[in-house]
Amino acid sequence: MTWQEEKARRETAARETHARLSRFFREDRFAFERERKRLIEDVINSVDDEGMRLRLRALQDSWDRKMKGAGSPHNRFVLARTFFWEHFHEAWQPSLEEFRRLLDGK
């Protein structure tokens, strides 16, 4: 299978999964949450390193606790955006700057 055929297959599968989750979200929130948790567990359990699995599970538990206290869909969105930018500024940006310094030979 060529790269483009594989990409098309992945996109089709992703669209089907999205449509299914979207339908669950609209029609049966309990089924949506059950499927969301199952998908997350599948990803975590696919990791070979036990230590990494434990860190991923702790991260997911932390995320779920924070989102549970949000109170509204808008607040969950604001929290998610805040967490993203906080992580970007505290982790990604310093790492990117360090790589740039290494590449520049400083």
Residue scoring higher pLDDT (36 or 1): 36
Q: What does the domain layout of the chain look like in residue ranges?
A: 1-68, 72-106
Distance of CA 38 to the CA centre of its chain: 13
Assign 41 a pLDDT band (cuts: 50, 70, 90). very high
Q: With a cut of 90, say whether residue 105 has pLDDT above it.
A: no
Convert the pLDDT of each residue in 53-96 to its tens digit: 999 999 999 999 989 888 888 999 999 999 999 999 999 999 99
Q: With a cut of 70, say whether residue 106 has pLDDT above it.
A: no
DSSP string, the chain: --HHHHHHHHHHHHHHHHHHHHHHHHH-HHHHHHHHHHHHHHHHHT-S-HHHHHHHHHHHHHHHHHHHTS-SHHHHHHHHHHHHHHHIIIIIHHHHHHHHHHHHT-
